[in-house]
Amino acid sequence: MTKTIQPELTLVGAGIGDPDLITVKGIKALRRADVVLYDALVSEELLEYAPNAKKVYVGKRVGQHSFKQEDINKLIVSHAFAGGHVVRLKGGDPFVFGRGHEEMRYAQKHGLRVNLVPGISSSVAAPALQGIPVTRRGDSQSFWVITGTTKEGEVSADIALAAQSSATVIILMGTKKIRQIMESFASAGKSNTPVAIIQNASTPEEKIGLGTVQNIEEVMIEKQLGSPAVIVVGEVVKHHAKYPSNLAQVVVKELA
């Protein structure tokens, strides 16, 4: 008697850049995968945890979209019914601007059993790995995580709202809109607020630019920063070891 295989999807957050930042549960899911559909920002080292699985690249990058979201949804379902267990390996966390919930719902509507393994989001991990806390007593009681560019290609209206608060503001997918984004903060009277742009966080290619609302665009050009990057706006940025004000304090201490 042939055993019926239940088509299954596991959404796995791969974390950011460094393959060691995936969870143990994510590794276990990969080990029992029949098919792995993986994104552009996922370290291919992680595919070694699924040596017997079929690997399918479905990455999407700005200006280089290999697959439309609708096509990815259909691939998940077709591979699940043909192969059994599909792992959808996504950079960061699947539910933080990852469209993971859309994929999950689509799979459920088509009869798949669905599991979720959260991942480490770049929104908090990228600044943390640079020694920047997203909250700190006396500096920030909360933080916003906002997409820099909406699906219509416009700057998110939430940025102007966030700029009026005392919160740390973390912006993903925003480097191409850096001027408009910083204008929102300048209009809120925050021209001197510290800013960090962190590119390729946790990888050997990681770069960072430090400045303020009024000069961060110049810093970005000078440092040749681009996507994928995380923009952090707020007083917490001044706690980075190389933030200019900290360097000045170090010099004074040495002279003393």
What positions carry a catalytic annotation? 39, 60, 173
Ramachandran bin of 17, using left for φ above 0, alpha for ψ from -120 to 50, beta for the remaining angles = left
* Angle at CA of residue 205, ends 203 and 208, nearest 5°: 95
Sign of the torsion formed by the C-alpha atoms of 101, 106, 108 and 112: negative
CB 32 within 8 A of CB 41: no
Q: How far apart are CA 66 and CA 254, in angstroms?
A: 54
| One-letter identity of residue 255 | L
- CA separation, residue 8 to residues 22, 44, 84 (Å): 21, 22, 6
Q: How far apart are CA 244 and CA 154, in angstroms?
A: 32
Strand partners, 15: 92
Strand partners, 113: 8
Give one DSSP letter per residue of 98-109, joined into a string. Answer: S-HHHHHHHHHH
CB 35 within 8 A of CB 86: yes
